[in-house]
Amino acid sequence: MMDFDFLEGKRLTEDVALDETMVWNEDIEMLDLHLVATSALIGVVHRVSYELLSRYLPNDYTAVVVETLARHVKAVPTGTRVAVGVRVVGVVGNRVKFRGIVMSGDEKILEAEFVRAIVPREKLRRLALEKAEKTSRLFGI
């Protein structure tokens, strides 16, 4: 197993445009407000953390989100540009803990804590194929 302690303290901030693909669409009557979905904001924070880790991981490794705790503090409309910041706050074995924040100017939009597990790509592929084979057998495919 590789040692990932060197990731502690690494950080990345990106400027992100929140577009219509991120709109909250669960309540049809509220669609005309063009508010960004919580899940879309979490997705952006996760993506920035992946971009940060991918700079440091060997090509045969990837990092998957295994745990997320998020607090959506303020509604924000699509079309808004936000700053998305992530920071590695802990590393235990292959698990990397992050804190993330989405800001619009000086207003906090979302804050999150989450964990990514660093795993060999080949192991992930093997697990996915085994799962697909089991599902195929279950349905007689």
DSSP string computed for 63-86 = EEEEEEEEEE-S--BTT-EEEEEE
43-99 tens-digit pLDDT: 999 999 999 999 999 999 999 999 999 999 999 999 999 999 999 999 999 999 999
Among 133, 104, 109, CA closest to 41: 109
* Number of domains the chain is built from: 1
Detail the residues annotated as belonging to a binding site for malonyl-CoA: 2, 38-39, 46, 61, 65, 72-73, 75, 94-95, 123
Label residues 71-83 b or e (16+ Cβ within 10 Å = b): ebeeebebebebe
Detail the residues annotated as belonging to a binding site: 2, 38-39, 46, 61, 65, 72-73, 75, 94-95, 123
CATH number, domain containing residue 35: 3.10.129.10
Q: 123 is in which domain, residue-wise?
A: 5-139
For the chain, the average pLDDT equals 94
